[in-house]
Chains A and B, each alone.
Chain A
Amino acid sequence: MDSSTYNLNIAAKFGENVKTELINGNEIHMFANTGDIIELCRFVHSDLGCRLLSVICNDERQITGMFVLRYVFGKENGEDVFFVATSNIDGKDNCFPTLTQYIPSASLYEREIKDMFGLIPKGSPDQRPLLLHSWPEGNYPLRKDFDIKTKVPKSKEEYPFLKVAGDGICEIPVGPVHAGIIEPGHFRFSTLGENIINLETRLFYTHKGVEKLAEQMPMEDVVLLSERIAGDESVANSTALCQAIEKIAKAKIPKKAAQTRTICAEMERIYNHLGTLAGLSTDAGFAFGAARLNILKEKMMNLNEKTSGSRLLFGVNRVGGVKIDLTDVHKKMITSETDYLENEFYKVFEFLRKKSSFIDRLKNTGTITKEDAVGFGIVGVAARCVGIDVDTRKDHPYANYSSLHLDKHHDTPYHKMKYEVELQKRNGDALSRFMLRAEEIQNSIMLIRQTLRDLENTQSIWCDVGHLEPYLHALGYSESHRGQTMHWVMVGKNNSIYRYKIRTASFCNWKIIEQAVLNDIVADFPLVNKSLDLSYSGNDL
């Protein structure tokens, strides 16, 4: 279906109440009033079969006198189109209708909006604070009249965790400071004997005010900031941001820039997947596998350094293109290193795959169900491991992914059928995620090879985006190793950022861990956590 067909569908259902507009090539924006917005979202979600990808609130009181809500939905599997349901919020009572009862994954976004804008999701079952801890009411950081330097005194707060009561129930609080070298977050386990019967996460300890900071910075600095949303997702996040701005500018970046982004994004995927697999091996108590995989990870980080000047691939992107010019020397180096990696990784992987003591720990541990995965709207490896075939590189191609052969699953009708069957068999345990990551490493090596083969031999690696017209906006997206990253940018006057909404894969995926650990033993928690590979900083912003 093309956009005009969708327009007819929407018009047939809502008539004059909903106006539609196509912008940026693949975003269908629909404008409704507060009364119709929930009905419109339900229509897009169930009738058009779209997933909720983000809910964006914006303080546009200086422009239109209103707060504006945008619900972003996306089509998958064959159609590169986004639906954005937009409505203004009544200024008088500062309330908006809740969507949580129909689409459960909306809950987190609504709590976020309540914290950051002071707007109440009317009827939402969960209205506890989310981002801001011990935060007194009346201070809303993302409102334009809030000064970023404000030091708000801490208020007394008792966060209401769900209490599990009964004979032999034991409550275990863990964090925010953890035992390993990892980021902070709080986990509240309720156990019966060894088994976890409830887990509640409380995160956002690393909240650094990234979205508000972006509004104070020049555009090129925001690219640096986006690399530090989560240090290990630097390419994915900065690519998403740059693409949003390039869309607003209607700029066509040089082909070589798009290819460089692809190569770096895949290098990022490889070194992080290697780290996750090594972590799984450590958490399963198998140091040998971890040591071998960590050698490979270190080699990849050395390659990152030689390619981009940073071991974490900081400084790859800029608005309008990239900063690094891949030469023949780079080309040769990346080729030989990835060849070596492919060989060696295969050896380690085959070794691990045959170790029954290791595989037994992963099998049927941290199982998630397809139903939960759909309900929470999860993305990335966590979604694919239960047979949900989503991948931004395939569904909404960016950089130069549209010209690449992503995997062998969609080659012929036979392959497709075989893949369909395989998807049905995936049972969402830690082992399925282990296998999937191993496969993705191999696919990434192929993608790098394909891109290097066709690498443009030009000097031009970026273009000037020029002056941007204020208050235009666009979505920017990419697939990090954790899953889909969805950014939304509205530019302000003088090429500034008016609003930068970031939603990384971790924001969608964190809630699933509460389901994944049920009935597992507490000692398996680190393993389950690692297998889902969630970022705290990317979630907390």
Chain B
Amino acid sequence: MTNSDKDSIMDDKVVTVQNPIDMTDVSSGYRGKIVIAQDKVSEITFENLDNACPTHSFGFDKKSQKLSVDHGKCITCDKCSVLSPTLIKIKSNFASASKHRTGLVESFDVGTITKSYDEIGKELKEKIHNLYGRSLAIREVDAGSCNGCEVEITALNNPIYDIARFGIHFVASPRHADLLLVTGPASRNMEVALKRTYDATPNPKLVVAVGACACSGGIFGDTYATTGGIDKIVPVDVYIPGCPPRPQALIYGLLLAIDKKLDRKV
């Protein structure tokens, strides 16, 4: 959506974005993901960096002397880049979803997006068509999130992102669902409800963990009240990092989930 466009929203016109994963509209100041800009830990020790990080997202491999960052934990605050501006940069493109938890861990200079996203929506639509017969039914489950992820998931349904045009819709019951979209660090009080929702979803089912909390516990961690991630309770197929992931990142994650299903079929 271009903001220079000052037409009235009451007019008849298309506001929906053509390419939902296109990041050209994202402002340069957006805190999308943190990247390690240098190969070596230079002016700052790993311990200092990790101590500063509220979710301890950094890792250090002693053998290869490589620093890594776990996007599944990162809440994209700017503490590390303030501490060491040359080593850590914040980029505006989102950290992409991964089929494996370990896929969210990146070290130096990993390309953010390796694939072209032209007509990604169409691709998604075709895959959904092949796999689920024209539609993908999603049941959203909040397992203790702060409501931030819900705000973004709700945004998928607005006229700008309009996810329904790809055959994706949100359903009211897990019994109608192909995919569970789960947010939150899996609070202790939601443990049973999440398990039951999973059991009520018919096979073949997919589970997508949304946000840093769902991937790793995030800032809420693993405490008396939380379990430290959705995969502690139910098996997860795709992890979408971010705090919260923006709608583009969510759509990309859903695409990946469908991909995974296709992989399995082959």
Cβ-based interface call for A388 (8 A): no
Kindly identify which residue among A141, A298, A311 contacts B225, using a CB–CB cutoff of 8 Å.
Answer: A141
Knowing A295-B9, A298-B155, A314-B243 are in contact, say whether A309-B29 is a contact too (CB < 8 A). Answer: yes
B12-64 interface (Cβ within 8 A of A): 15, 25-27, 29-31, 54
Cβ-based interface call for B252 (8 A): no
* Interface window among B105-113, B114-122, B123-131, B168-176: B168-176
Across the interface, name the chain A residue whose C-beta is closest to B144. A206
**Binary interface profile of B, 131-160, with partner A (CB < 8 Å = 1, else 0)?**
000000000111111111111111101111
The reply to whether B27 and A306 contact each other, CB–CB distance below 8 Å, is yes
Cβ-based interface call for B66 (8 A): no
Cβ-based interface call for B88 (8 A): no
Q: How many B residues face the partner with a CB closer than 8 A?
A: 62
Cβ-based interface call for B75 (8 A): yes
**Binary interface profile of B, 220-245, with partner A (CB < 8 Å = 1, else 0)?**
11111110000000000000000110
Chain B residues within an 8 Å CB radius of A181: 140, 150, 153-154, 157, 170
Distance between Cα atoms of A296 and B188 in the complex (Å): 37
The reply to whether A225 and B219 contact each other, CB–CB distance below 8 Å, is yes
Distance between Cα atoms of A487 and B193 in the complex (Å): 31
Nearest chain A CB to B123's CB is how many angstroms away?
A: 24
Knowing A312-B244, A344-B10 are in contact, say whether A205-B189 is a contact too (CB < 8 A). Answer: yes
* Interface window among A97-105, A143-151, A452-460, A489-497: A143-151
Distance between Cα atoms of A220 and B151 in the complex (Å): 25
Chain A residues within an 8 Å CB radius of B145: 183, 206, 231, 537
A297-350 interface (Cβ within 8 A of B): 297-299, 301-302, 305-306, 309-312, 314-315, 323, 337, 340, 343-344, 347-348
Chain B residues within an 8 Å CB radius of A301: 155
The reply to whether A209 and B30 contact each other, CB–CB distance below 8 Å, is no
Chain A residues within an 8 Å CB radius of B93: none
Knowing A179-B172, A299-B1, A537-B147 are in contact, say whether A351-B190 is a contact too (CB < 8 A). Answer: no
Chain A residues within an 8 Å CB radius of B141: 177, 184
Knowing A179-B173, A206-B190, A209-B226 are in contact, say whether A231-B147 is a contact too (CB < 8 A). Answer: yes
Chain A residues within an 8 Å CB radius of B187: 205-208, 540
The reply to whether B78 and A183 contact each other, CB–CB distance below 8 Å, is no
The reply to whether B54 and A224 contact each other, CB–CB distance below 8 Å, is yes
A273-301 interface (Cβ within 8 A of B): 275, 291-292, 294-299, 301
Nearest chain A CB to B84's CB is how many angstroms away?
A: 16
The reply to whether B224 and A148 contact each other, CB–CB distance below 8 Å, is yes
Kindly identify which residue among A213, A323, A351 contacts B78, using a CB–CB cutoff of 8 Å.
Answer: A323
The reply to whether B140 and A231 contact each other, CB–CB distance below 8 Å, is no
Across the interface, name the chain A residue whose C-beta is closest to B172. A179
Q: How many A residues face the partner with a CB closer than 8 A?
A: 70
The reply to whether A315 and B9 contact each other, CB–CB distance below 8 Å, is no
Kindly identify which residue among A141, A228, A294, A311 contacts B224, using a CB–CB cutoff of 8 Å.
Answer: A141
Kindly identify which residue among B9, B189, B243 contacts A344, using a CB–CB cutoff of 8 Å.
Answer: B9
Chain A residues within an 8 Å CB radius of B189: 132-133, 204-207, 540
Distance between Cα atoms of A413 and B162 in the complex (Å): 49
Cβ-based interface call for A152 (8 A): yes
Distance between Cα atoms of A296 and B244 in the complex (Å): 20
B74-90 interface (Cβ within 8 A of A): 75-79
Distance between Cα atoms of A141 and B221 in the complex (Å): 16
Across the interface, name the chain A residue whose C-beta is closest to B173. A179
Cβ-based interface call for B65 (8 A): no
Cβ-based interface call for A501 (8 A): no
Cβ-based interface call for B102 (8 A): no
Cβ-based interface call for A190 (8 A): no
The reply to whether B152 and A311 contact each other, CB–CB distance below 8 Å, is yes
Knowing A183-B142, A231-B151, A315-B78 are in contact, say whether A208-B9 is a contact too (CB < 8 A). Answer: no
Chain B residues within an 8 Å CB radius of A232: 147-148, 151
Chain A residues within an 8 Å CB radius of B155: 294, 297-298, 301
Nearest chain B CB to A177's CB is how many angstroms away?
A: 5
Cβ-based interface call for A180 (8 A): yes
Across the interface, name the chain B residue whose C-beta is closest to A152. B224
Chain A residues within an 8 Å CB radius of B184: 206
Cβ-based interface call for B197 (8 A): yes
Most buried by A among B78, B187, B193: B187
A198-225 interface (Cβ within 8 A of B): 204-210, 212-213, 217, 220-221, 224-225
Cβ-based interface call for A182 (8 A): yes
Nearest chain B CB to A328's CB is how many angstroms away?
A: 15
Which A-B residue pairs are the 7 nearest by beta carbons? Answer: A231-B148, A209-B225, A179-B172, A294-B158, A231-B146, A221-B54, A206-B144
Interface residues of A (CB under 8 A from B): 132-133, 139, 141, 146, 148-152, 176-177, 179-184, 204-210, 212-213, 217, 220-221, 224-225, 228-232, 234, 275, 291-292, 294-299, 301-302, 305-306, 309-312, 314-315, 323, 337, 340, 343-344, 347-348, 351, 535-538, 540
Interface residues of B (CB under 8 A from A): 1, 3, 6, 8-10, 15, 25-27, 29-31, 54, 75-79, 140-155, 157-160, 170, 172-174, 184-185, 187-190, 193, 197, 219-226, 243-244, 246
Given A205-B144, A206-B184, list of 20 further CB < 8 A pairs?
A152-B224, A176-B193, A181-B150, A182-B150, A183-B147, A184-B190, A205-B187, A205-B193, A207-B187, A207-B188, A230-B146, A294-B158, A298-B1, A302-B3, A302-B25, A305-B26, A306-B29, A312-B244, A314-B77, A538-B147
